[in-house]
Amino acid sequence: MSSMHLAAGAVTIGQAASETGVSSKMIRHYESLGLLGGIARTDGGYRTYGASELHTLRFIRRARDLGFSIEEIRQLLSLWQDKQRASREVRQVAARHIAELEQRIAQLQAMRATLAALVDGCTGDDRPTCPILSDLAGEPCSSTEHHCH
């Protein structure tokens, strides 16, 4: 790597990744989505990140950890940067996300219940008859030795 001159307090993408827990690949991705704004570059074209960008990356990482979508993060970033925002707007984004999470939880619980019933109905022996595969293939279970659900 050629030598590069960084502005005071600026770090390279590798250092930014290390300091924020966001991979270099994801940092570039978030930049391409416009979540980071304009990233400064050295004369050699290397990205540099200051305290503001690092703070934004930590914000994005925390939001991702909570399962917010990229579009929700875009909204939250906009609200975070708007010091005149009403907190009700932030609350609405978070409340919608909770409703989506509850829906996903219900779907996951239904999937778990279905799979548990299929596993319960399978003897798991040396015979080829398998209610799990039959269900996945949309076939009726033909064995009287296995329950079919």
Looking up residue 11, the CATH number of its domain turns out to be: 1.10.1660.10
pTM: 0.77
Q: What letters, b where the CB count within 10 A reaches 16 and e where it falls short, cover 4-32?
A: eeeeeebbbbeebbeebebeeebbeebbe
Asked whether residue 137 is assigned to any structural domain, the reply reads no
Q: Is the pLDDT of residue 108 over 60?
A: yes
Q: Which amino acid is at 132?
A: I
Q: Is the pLDDT of residue 142 over 70?
A: no
Asked whether residue 90 is assigned to any structural domain, the reply reads no
Q: What is the pLDDT of residues 118-139, one digit of tens each?
A: 999 888 888 888 888 988 998 8
Length of the chain: 149
Asked whether residue 94 is assigned to any structural domain, the reply reads no
Q: What letters, b where the CB count within 10 A reaches 16 and e where it falls short, cover 47-77?
A: bbbbeebbebbebbbebbeeebeeebbbbbb
Q: Report the pLDDT averaged over residues 107-118.
A: 95
Asked whether residue 133 is assigned to any structural domain, the reply reads no
Q: Is the pLDDT of residue 7 over 80?
A: no
3-class DSSP state of 47:
strand
Asked whether residue 58 is assigned to any structural domain, the reply reads yes
Q: Domain of residue 7: give its range.
A: 1-68
Give kind and range of the element (H or E) at residue 118.
Answer: helix 87-120
Q: Sorting pLDDT into bands at 50, 70 and 90, what band is 111?
A: very high
The reported pLDDT for the residue numbered 76 is: 97
The reported pLDDT for the residue numbered 40 is: 86
Domain count for the chain: 1
The reported pLDDT for the residue numbered 106 is: 98
DSSP-based helix, strand, coil % in the chain, nearest 5: 55, 5, 40
Q: What is the pLDDT of residues 33-55, one digit of tens each?
A: 999 988 888 888 888 999 999 99
